[in-house]
A and B are shown apart, each in its own frame.
Chain A
Amino acid sequence: MMAKRLPVLIWLCAIALAVIAVIRANYVADMSAFLPANPTNNQSILIEQLTHGSLSRTILIGIEGAPSETLAKASKELSSAMQASQRFSMVQNGDPESTRKDQAFIFNNRYLLSPTTIEHFTEQGLHKAISDSIDLLGSPLGLMIKKIFPKDPTGEVLSIINNLGFTNQIENAHGVWVANNAQRALVLALTNATGTDTDQQEAAVHFIRAEFERIQKSIDANLTLKMTGSPVFSVNARETIHSQVLVFSTLGLTAISFLFLWVFRSFKTFALGALPILTGILCGITAVSLCFDTVHAITIGFGSTLIGEAVDYSIYYFAQAQKQNSEWKERFWPTIRLGTFTSIVGFLALLTTDFPGLAQLSVFTIAGLSAAVLVTRYVLPALHNPKLNDYTLKAIGKAVIRLLPALSKLRYLGYVFALLMIIPFLSGTVKWSNQVSDLSPVSKADKALDIELRSDLGAGGARHIIVMKATSEDAALEVSEQVASLIAPLQEQNLIAGFDAPSKLLPSLATQTLRKRAVPELPLLDKRLENAIKDLPVKRKTLEPFVTDSESIHDAPFINQESFSGTSLNEVIKSLLYRVGDKWVAIGIIKDTPETPVNPQSIKALLEQAPQLDAQYIDLLNESNQMYEQYVSGTLNSCLFGVVGIFIVLSAVRRSIPDAIRIMAPLVISSVVVAGILGLSGVNLTLLHAVGFLLIFAIGSNYALLVQNHQGEMDPITVASLIVACFATMFGFGVLAFTEVPVLKAIGQTVGPGALLSLFFALSMAANKPGIKLDPIR
């Protein structure tokens, strides 16, 4: 009796420990599941940008649905609520008041900031600069510069604005940014929380939604909110994954439950059947939380699909062990053990990938399947007295056996179909996706809206960047200055649309000193000015404010990072100049427009001219696609290794290569057919499809083994257990094909049909060979 209860006791203790581990585990739902664990240098820059950069914190908001006056009111209320909330490090809506601080900062520090200070303060420089400004007074710009002409006759403010590329103006109506003929008010915000803190970003996004609802109620019920940007997307993605995993695993579970109840006609059996699955999921999460710091939500999402394979074990057990436990142990357990072993070998291969998401998947599956099969083998027999009503099972089994001869003929049709499916492979219709975005749960509509809002706000993503490093902040700024002057000719020749460098906002101390020194002390300045304006239509007296301002620079402090606080430029400089470890990193952004696309070769060639600078050009989009390609090829290799591993294990255990081939042939054919159909229906295969194919082998090998293992005549109960198991798998995985989460969808649409086809080919191929190998597996 003790011997019988021992496994149950051990199992209960394991469950208790697992529950504790599951409760204490640290769950995350960000993109880090798909970022490499050991990135290259370029990749770590990309990851830094994705997880901490301003891109990961930018929220773009459009308010629509009312006349422009109402939109302006809503924009102002929303912005001030957001500013007051302390959740955002920057909120801008085009309010002139908010840009006034920026303008004041630039104006007050114009001689330190302007790239033309040095050339403008010689006698000829003054003459040229002032006479240019006088010409400008006649142009449309004249209206704007007239006011500042007496203080800034040399036009330093314009030099700075040109240098910073602040020339794209967003339309303004009623004091707020608008687009689309003033039918949309625009707000740009940066969350305090970085991309790694989805909880805080969620709080920020929810805050905006709640505030907007309040404004809707108080101003106009017709107002609508459009919101995009990385924080919004990751919050939406998490919500989608949560809700969809819940809905679809409930659907799958319900379907499986009905199948169970219908086949076994017993609630007790149903409850017992759930034990291996639940144990598997608990142990899977536990194993992941022990092996990794965090558990990715997507792993759990995948975990619910594990039901598909674990449920098979219960079904085999209940169906096959109903006569006598000992017979099951002798006849079926070795086969099931081998089946589980092949699955584990298959998934072991995924452990070697550099991507935490897949490695976790591997650990989860191995631990989960092991736990499920052990519970089936040791715990179920201890709990269960098989007195099963096998009415349904027998009926299914007999019906299928009657169909076998027909099925066996049908297989030729299957072969032809499979052969035909090779065509899409050869013709390239079956494509492996090369874009990270194919994995992203952001809908096409949201992506389009994001592009629209970004172009409205002139907030294009930074794709082409130059990463500059040095040992101190000031040294990084000096590198940035040298790179900026290397790049400048490209802009003059209109080969690039612009270059944003931190040194343009915050010049190095050396440069600031040079500029300060270039402004002469009073008697000298006066003399130069007098000569400079001799033949110009402007009086010395008019320019008195200029002389006063120029002189005050000698008492003014240099600017540093802190000088920007309170202006919107603060965020800009922080995102372009930051510390990583013991190095300071300056990021230069090369502007990319359809008219002047960036030519990477010319940038690289320029940087090669200055090998002493630690400056590197990176195309972030290229980098992320390359990372993804590496990810895809790594996963594909792992999956292939997994399949080869399964083959080796089968050959070794059956001591026969032809036998292993016979077992695997139905799985290969099914995979080809599934891939062909997916390719033909225009689906780009992602790496989760690859994992799906591995699952076809892992699950399908069980079918093939059990079919091959039958002794002489097909036994109705065995056949029925396979059919029921296959349908349970179909339900468990198949429903996922209908989710909106790309990674789950991929698994669902591969494994669902794959499982069914595997069983079909396994049964039909075996039915053709009545004299199949008879000795049971040891």
Chain B
Amino acid sequence: MKPLKYLGLLPLALISFPASAWDVSDLMKTLAANPGGKATFIEKRQLAVLDKPLVMTGDLVYAPPAYLEKRVLTPKPEILILDGDRLRYEAAGKKATININTQPELVGFIDSIRGTLTGNLRKLEDNYALTLNGAPKRWTLILLPNDQQIAKYVLKITISGHDDKVTTIEYLQADGDKSVMTIQPTH
């Protein structure tokens, strides 16, 4: 053993040290501890088939670990409730319940949200390559799908926030369409 040989590794160790002070798993732990609650949102969707973005506003309710409700108030009332694997949809007096597992294109979206909100690192890493930028006070998590099935629909998901709060979710879809949701906690 020649100790000298390992001296070259020292700078590497020094560089990686600060980064490991706060990483994805720390963020996940913080997020997992989020007790849930209510928020309002504004969502803007840019679709290739439309000239102007669609703008939707409404409320969000989150009760960990498996209940997420999105209540669109404008332009048309619509309720979406994700409870476990069931997705309930209500609009214009019509109700439908689907099991998300029957809709592979939805599973990708839903898992990205579910995984982030519940801080389920393993679930996120199953489907996405994760990159975390920033600091606990202002962070951005980038999800790039590595699952082919999801990649057919989603190019990139960018989630940003502070502490245990998610403030924006941005989807870039494979066909170029994009949606940005801005979330404002009500308490």
Binding site for B on A (CB under 8 A): 134-135, 137-141, 143-144, 146, 149-150, 167, 169-173, 182, 537-539, 542
B94 to chain A: closest residue by CB: A162
B110 to chain A, nearest CB (A): 10
B80 to chain A: closest residue by CB: A140
B1 to chain A, nearest CB (A): 48
Known: A143-B153, A146-B177. A137 touches B101 (CB 8 A): no
Q: How far is the CA of A137 from the CA of B51 in the complex (A)?
A: 13
Q: Is the CB of A137 within 8 A of B50?
A: yes
Choice from B45, B80, B91 contacting A137 with Cβ under 8 Å: B45
Binding site for A on B (CB under 8 A): 43, 45, 47, 49-52, 54, 56, 72, 75-76, 78, 80, 87, 89, 91, 96, 98-99, 101-102, 105-106, 153, 175, 177
Known: A134-B54, A139-B91, A146-B177. A169 touches B49 (CB 8 A): no
Q: Which residues of B contact A137 (CB under 8 A)?
A: 45, 47, 49-50, 54
Q: How far is the CA of A467 from the CA of B43 in the complex (A)?
A: 50
Q: How far is the CA of A146 from the CA of B176 in the complex (A)?
A: 12
Q: Which residues of A contact B106 (CB under 8 A)?
A: 140, 143
Q: Is the CB of A167 within 8 A of B96?
A: yes
Known: A138-B43, A169-B98, A537-B51. 16 other contacts (CB 8 A): A137-B47, A137-B54, A138-B45, A138-B78, A140-B106, A141-B89, A143-B106, A144-B105, A146-B49, A146-B177, A169-B99, A172-B101, A537-B50, A538-B50, A542-B49, A542-B50
A136 to chain B, nearest CB (A): 8
Choice from B49, B99, B177 contacting A171 with Cβ under 8 Å: B99
Choice from B76, B87, B89 contacting A135 with Cβ under 8 Å: B76
Q: Which residues of A contact B75 (CB under 8 A)?
A: 135
Q: Is the CB of A539 within 8 A of B51?
A: yes
Closest 4 CB pairs of A and B: A537-B52, A537-B50, A138-B54, A537-B51
Choice from B78, B98, B101 contacting A139 with Cβ under 8 Å: B78
Q: Is the CB of A169 within 8 A of B102?
A: yes
Q: Is the CB of A140 within 8 A of B49?
A: no
Q: How far is the CA of A766 from the CA of B16 in the complex (A)?
A: 110
Q: Which residues of A contact B89 (CB under 8 A)?
A: 139-141
Known: A137-B49, A149-B49, A167-B96. A172 touches B177 (CB 8 A): no
Q: Is the CB of B102 within 8 A of A134?
A: no
A367 to chain B, nearest CB (A): 61
Q: Is the CB of B87 within 8 A of A140?
A: yes
Q: How far is the CA of A149 from the CA of B51 in the complex (A)?
A: 14
Q: Which residues of B contact A146 (CB under 8 A)?
A: 47, 49, 175, 177
Q: Is the CB of B45 within 8 A of A538?
A: no
Q: Is the CB of B78 within 8 A of A171?
A: no
Q: How far is the CA of A542 from the CA of B153 in the complex (A)?
A: 21
Q: Is the CB of A538 within 8 A of B102?
A: no
A94 to chain B: closest residue by CB: B102
A149 to chain B: closest residue by CB: B49
A185 to chain B, nearest CB (A): 14
- CB-defined A-B contacts under 8 Å, sample of 28: A134-B50, A135-B75, A135-B76, A137-B47, A138-B45, A139-B78, A139-B91, A140-B87, A140-B89, A140-B106, A141-B89, A143-B105, A146-B47, A146-B175, A149-B49, A169-B98, A170-B102, A171-B99, A171-B101, A171-B102, A173-B101, A182-B101, A537-B52, A537-B54, A538-B49, A538-B51, A539-B51, A542-B49
Q: Which residues of B contact A537 (CB under 8 A)?
A: 50-52, 54
Q: How far is the CA of A170 from the CA of B102 in the complex (A)?
A: 7
Q: How far is the CA of A446 from the CA of B177 in the complex (A)?
A: 51
Q: How far is the CA of A617 from the CA of B49 in the complex (A)?
A: 47
Q: Which residues of B contact A141 (CB under 8 A)?
A: 89
Q: Which residues of A contact B96 (CB under 8 A)?
A: 167
B98 to chain A: closest residue by CB: A169
B90 to chain A, nearest CB (A): 10
Q: How far is the CA of A537 from the CA of B76 in the complex (A)?
A: 16
A144 to chain B: closest residue by CB: B105
Q: How far is the CA of A143 from the CA of B100 in the complex (A)?
A: 13
Q: How far is the CA of A247 from the CA of B101 in the complex (A)?
A: 49
B87 to chain A: closest residue by CB: A140
Q: How far is the CA of A434 from the CA of B130 in the complex (A)?
A: 66
A494 to chain B: closest residue by CB: B93
A533 to chain B: closest residue by CB: B51
A167 to chain B: closest residue by CB: B96
Q: Which residues of A contact B76 (CB under 8 A)?
A: 135
Q: How far is the CA of A170 from the CA of B78 in the complex (A)?
A: 24
A542 to chain B: closest residue by CB: B49
Q: Which residues of A contact B98 (CB under 8 A)?
A: 169
Q: How far is the CA of A135 from the CA of B101 in the complex (A)?
A: 25
B55 to chain A: closest residue by CB: A138
A529 to chain B, nearest CB (A): 15
B51 to chain A: closest residue by CB: A537
B7 to chain A, nearest CB (A): 50
Q: How far is the CA of A137 from the CA of B153 in the complex (A)?
A: 15
Q: How far is the CA of A144 from the CA of B177 in the complex (A)?
A: 13
Q: Which residues of B contact A169 (CB under 8 A)?
A: 98-99, 102
B174 to chain A, nearest CB (A): 11
Q: How far is the CA of A67 from the CA of B175 in the complex (A)?
A: 34
Q: Which residues of A contact B49 (CB under 8 A)?
A: 137, 146, 149-150, 538, 542
Q: Which residues of B contact A538 (CB under 8 A)?
A: 49-51
A182 to chain B: closest residue by CB: B101
A422 to chain B, nearest CB (A): 55
A377 to chain B, nearest CB (A): 74
B10 to chain A, nearest CB (A): 47
A537 to chain B: closest residue by CB: B52
A133 to chain B, nearest CB (A): 10
Q: How far is the CA of A692 from the CA of B105 in the complex (A)?
A: 63
A173 to chain B: closest residue by CB: B101
Q: Which residues of B contact A182 (CB under 8 A)?
A: 101
B19 to chain A, nearest CB (A): 36
Q: How far is the CA of A171 from the CA of B43 in the complex (A)?
A: 30
Q: How far is the CA of A137 from the CA of B173 in the complex (A)?
A: 14
Q: How far is the CA of A137 from the CA of B91 in the complex (A)?
A: 13
